[in-house]
């Protein structure tokens, strides 16, 4: 596992102070190219590991040979363990890496770091829902992302269309316990839900990520595209100020407070894919919410109200007779 290897690289740097990629490759029993990528990964992730060119150069920890692990401050060590601690509860590899990190920290940091690791936990199940199973191909996908190996996927889209394609897996994202794969394809970058991948296998080919690719930036674009599709219709509504928080919980980031109305009610902008989606959310509010515009949402509310009145008024009359 790469996480385990990166920890080992840090410990080796701590012991030696300065190493070359070739020395690290020998220590970890990997290729020189892999050792160099690991050192670059440590450096770009914020660990103070720097290359020193020229004769007698190599890679060194800022502060010299006796820097503890990575030069982490007490606050940085606590923050790191707050992040890693929950993962250790569900991953054997993370637990092993955490033990090594603890041993490598300065003694004065260890107690607080261990306390931070146990301060939070992950419960992936929502209230009233069972635990989601870990997607079967996830381990293979993670390995392919790290090792830059092409994959052949069998994929079922949201419209139930089955297809087979060769992809270059660039990165994985876990959003609300649903995993997504961002990959390069012959048609450009695509995003796949991992739980819709029926089968995945290595093709034997390798790939290089685009030089300007970063997973965070790519995911921001995906989120932006999805949110745009989810908010194609906007409505302006009036609601008593005391219920503004409830409306925000219901619509999330698609709820914008636009100030106060003349009568003291809050004016709010709400977004959803269609007028019917907004109307369905607001129908249960009854007369507490007034829709100013657009007419399409008002019409959907009137239609829903007429349907309910027709069904339950007729039912009440039948019961009375």
Q: Are residues 33 and 112 in the same domain?
A: yes
Q: Are residues 199 and 255 in the same domain?
A: no
Q: Are residues 48 and 83 in the same domain?
A: yes
Whether 122 maps to a domain, the answer reads: no
Question: What is d(CA 111, CA 38) in angstroms, rounded to the nearest whole number?
Answer: 29
β-pairing verdict for 162-175 and 149-156: antiparallel
Q: Are residues 143 and 54 in the same domain?
A: no
Q: For the domain that residue 142 is a member of, what is the CATH number?
A: 2.30.30
Question: What is d(CA 299, CA 310) in angstroms, rounded to the nearest whole number?
Answer: 16
Number of structural domains the chain divides into? 3
Whether 74 maps to a domain, the answer reads: yes
Q: What is the per-residue pLDDT for 228?
A: 79
Q: What is the per-residue pLDDT for 30?
A: 84
Q: Are residues 11 and 113 in the same domain?
A: yes
Q: What is the per-residue pLDDT for 223?
A: 86
Question: What is d(CA 313, CA 311) in angstroms, rounded to the nearest whole number?
Answer: 6
Total count of residues recorded for the chain: 321
Whether 188 maps to a domain, the answer reads: yes
Two tokens, residue 166: 């060769």
Q: What is the per-residue pLDDT for 82?
A: 66
Q: Are residues 196 and 92 in the same domain?
A: no
Rounded mean pLDDT of the chain? Answer: 81
Whether 128 maps to a domain, the answer reads: no
Q: Are residues 53 and 105 in the same domain?
A: yes
- Please list the ranges in the chain whose pLDDT falls under 50: 1, 64-67, 70, 321
Q: Are residues 69 and 169 in the same domain?
A: no
Q: What is the per-residue pLDDT for 118?
A: 66
Q: Are residues 300 and 247 in the same domain?
A: yes
- The radius of gyration computed from the CA coordinates of the chain, to the nearest angstrom, equals 27
Q: What is the per-residue pLDDT for 153?
A: 94
DSSP per-residue string spanning 17-78 = SEE-HHHHHHHHTS-HHHHHHHHHHHHHTT--EEEE-STT-EEEETT-TT--TTT--HHHHH
Whether 124 maps to a domain, the answer reads: no
Q: What is the per-residue pLDDT for 8?
A: 75
Q: What is the per-residue pLDDT for 182?
A: 93
Q: What is the per-residue pLDDT for 64?
A: 45
Q: How does pLDDT run across 187-231, given as a tens digit for each residue?
A: 899 999 998 998 999 999 999 989 899 888 888 888 888 887 778
Whether 275 maps to a domain, the answer reads: yes
Question: Domain boundary residue among 84, 117, 150?
Answer: 117
Q: For the domain that residue 247 is a member of, what is the CATH number?
A: 3.30.70
Q: What is the per-residue pLDDT for 24?
A: 86
For residue 244, what are the domain limits? 231-317
Q: What is the per-residue pLDDT for 200?
A: 92
Question: What is d(CA 23, CA 8) in angstroms, rounded to the nearest whole number?
Answer: 13
Whether 184 maps to a domain, the answer reads: yes
Whether 126 maps to a domain, the answer reads: no
Q: What is the per-residue pLDDT for 63?
A: 56
């Amino acid at each position: 596992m790469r996480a385990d290897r990166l920890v080992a690289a840090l410990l080796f740097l701590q012991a030696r102070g300065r190493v070359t990629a070739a020395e690290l490759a020998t220590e970890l029993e990997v290729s020189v190219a892999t050792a160099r990528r690991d050192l670059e990964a440590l450096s770009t992730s914020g660990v103070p590991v720097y290359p020193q060119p020229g004769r007698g150069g190599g890679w060194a920890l800022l502060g010299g040979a006796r820097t503890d692990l990575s030069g982490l401050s007490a606050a940085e060590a606590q923050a790191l363990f707050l992040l890693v601690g929950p993962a250790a509860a569900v991953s054997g590899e993370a637990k092993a890496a955490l033990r090594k990190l603890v041993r490598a920290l300065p003694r004065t940091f260890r107690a607080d770091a261990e306390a931070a690791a146990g301060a939070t936990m992950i419960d992936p199940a929502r209230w009233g829902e069972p635990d989601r199973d870990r997607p079967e191909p996830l381990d293979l996908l993670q390995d392919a992302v790290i090792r830059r190996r092409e994959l052949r996927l069998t994929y079922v889209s949201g419209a139930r269309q089955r297809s087979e394609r060769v992809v270059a897996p660039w990165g994985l994202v876990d959003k609300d316990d649903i995993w997504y794969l961002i990959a390069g394809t012959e048609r450009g970058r695509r995003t796949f839900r991992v739980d819709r991948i029926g089968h995945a296998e290595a093709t034997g080919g390798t790939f290089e990520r685009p030089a300007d690719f970063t997973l965070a930036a790519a995911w921001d674009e995906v989120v932006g595209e999805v949110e745009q599709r989810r908010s194609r219709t906007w409505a302006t509504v009036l609601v008593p100020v005391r219920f503004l928080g409830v409306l925000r919980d219901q619509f999330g980031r698609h709820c914008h407070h636009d100030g106060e109305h003349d009568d003291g009610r809050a004016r709010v902008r709400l977004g959803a894919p269609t007028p019917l989606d907004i109307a369905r959310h607001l129908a249960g509010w009854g007369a507490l919410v007034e829709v100013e515009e657009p007419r399409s949402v008002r019409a959907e509310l009137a239609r829903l109200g007429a349907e309910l009145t027709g069904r339950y008024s007729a039912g009440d009359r039948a019961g009375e007779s």
